[in-house]
């Protein structure tokens, strides 16, 4: 589904991605992990065409994405922070996005699923963080595309909404979609991810199944494994 070869990106003198190569299988769900500053967000933005790499290649479904835009029609994206125009109502932001993408949408189903009907006529500025995140989920999932990229999708969600999100992701996996997500919630990785892409300082530290990373460090579980990696990384940086 996704093939990245020797991707590099600098911001000034700061090298964020360093000769990064990566393959993501079609129909798999992958957690992108790593400490702050490891390059996770930059990698996602390169996939979305929001950041242009200095060099290297990105292919999605065997098509080079450089200088292209049409491929983004096949991607659904959920940003970490739902920065909506505050003066719009919930129904207006949904309608606007439907007009922009000009695609059949399943917004009504998702609105009911996340119990957003009472909020449709409310301005986004008056919503709680958790309710904004539910709107964010609706916008990300309503176009039924084959590739989903979710950046910290659980931010601000209450326990009930979190369960519903996990159930929704599980349904998408059964439909054969390819999913990339970032999170700091280790339990979510353990419950959902088939593979981990672990970044350190812009490079692939590990890619493979969760069990492989745990075995590599001979730890009890993923939480202790990641704590060990982070601790070692901090010491090496000091």
**Is the Cβ–Cβ distance between 156 and 130 less than 8 Å?**
yes
Cα 56 versus chain centre, distance = 21
204-235 burial code (b ≥16 CB/10 A, e <16) = bbbbeebeebbeeeebeebeebbeebeeebee
pLDDT digit string (tens) for the chain, length 238 residues: 899 999 999 999 999 999 999 999 999 999 999 988 899 999 999 999 999 999 999 999 888 888 888 888 899 999 988 788 889 999 999 999 999 999 889 999 999 999 999 999 999 999 999 999 999 999 999 998 999 999 999 999 999 999 999 999 999 999 999 999 999 889 999 999 999 999 999 999 999 999 999 998 898 899 999 999 888 776 666 5
- What predicted TM-score, i.e. pTM, was given to this entire model? 0.92
Q: How far apart are CA 214 and CA 232, in angstroms?
A: 15
The CATH number linked to 207 is 3.40.50.300
The pair of three-digit structure tokens given for residue 231, joined into one six-digit string: 């601790």
* 214: containing domain: 2-237
The pair of three-digit structure tokens given for residue 37, joined into one six-digit string: 């500053």
Specify the number of domains making up the chain.
1
Query: Other C-beta atoms within 10 Å of 58: how many?
Result: 21
């Amino acid at each position: 589904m996704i093939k990245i070869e020797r991707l590099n990106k600098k911001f000034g003198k700061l090298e964020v991605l360093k000769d990064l190569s990566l393959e993501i299988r079609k129909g798999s769900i992958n957690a992108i992990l790593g400490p702050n500053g490891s390059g996770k967000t930059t990698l996602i933005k390169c996939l979305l065409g929001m950041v242009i790499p200095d060099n290297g290649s990105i292919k999605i479904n065997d098509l080079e994405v450089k200088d292209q835009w049409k491929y983004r029609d096949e991607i659904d994206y959920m940003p970490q922070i739902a920065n909506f125009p505050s003066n719009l109502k919930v129904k207006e932001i949904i309608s606007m996005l439907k007009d922009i993408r000009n695609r059949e949408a399943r917004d009504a189903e998702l609105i009911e699923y996340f119990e957003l009907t009472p909020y449709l006529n409310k301005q986004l500025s008056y919503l709680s963080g958790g309710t904004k995140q539910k709107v964010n989920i609706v916008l990300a999932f309503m176009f039924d595309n084959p590739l989903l990229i979710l950046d910290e999708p659980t931010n601000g969600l209450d326990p009930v909404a979190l369960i519903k999100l996990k159930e929704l992701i599980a349904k998408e996996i059964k439909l054969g979609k390819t999913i990339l997500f970032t999170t700091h919630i280790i339990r979510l990785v353990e419950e959902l991810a088939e593979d981990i892409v672990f970044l350190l300082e812009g490079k692939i530290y590990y890619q493979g199944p969760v069990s492989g990373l745990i075995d590599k460090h001979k730890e009890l579980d993923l939480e202790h494994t990641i704590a060990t990696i982070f601790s070692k990384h901090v010491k090496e940086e000091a």
